[in-house]
Structure 1
Amino acid sequence: MKSKFCATYVLAGCFLASMLSACGGGGSGSIPDSSPAVLAPGATYTMQQNNSVLVPAGTTVSANGTTVTVAGSNTTTNTTNGAVVVVPTTATGPANNTVTTE
């Protein structure tokens, strides 16, 4: 009698564990990641509307015939849709400056 009782609980426990594991484990929901992408040295990126990227100092942002060089730390550079962001291969500082479009 005892082994039948234990086997029932083991089977019920396994069933419950498999059902619970099927419910969780998220990570790829429908909510998009809102944190800005970090551009590595040597990267070139074309900005899209309502977009932000993190870049190190020395990065250039070109839009409408004008080029701006990002300087300093923890700054924000506003630009337009289609702007080209170029991170020099020699960039060594932290990518803590934001380039953003509206």
Structure 2
Amino acid sequence: MYYNGSMTQKRKTKVQSVALNEYLLEGANALVKAGKFSSISDVITTALTEFLTKYEAKQIEKSTSEIKGNELLLNSILQTEEGQKLFASFCKGELQKTQDNSQKVLE
């Protein structure tokens, strides 16, 4: 929800003391004085919300990029005869482990 261009939080809040350098505090006070935000707390909450949203998006993007990189690597390996044989041997080994474990459960 926005109020005078600022985001107000409807969640339960907790009080936390933080140290700000003079530049940040003056900037926050100026925004409140100009009526852009209702309080310094509102400025900090909005800034931190935007930061965390961007940070989380970047982490997801990084994770997605790593997955795509792994897929490309695997596809490249599977394009070669040696890679196909290696992959087949891994699959055969895992299948054998699964069958051995199933046999133990049945015994």
Fold match (TM-score > 0.5): no
Which structure has the higher relative contact order (CA within 8 Å, separation 6+)?
A: 1
In terms of Rg, which structure is larger? 2
TM-score, reference length from structure 2: 0.33
Which is richer in helix? 2
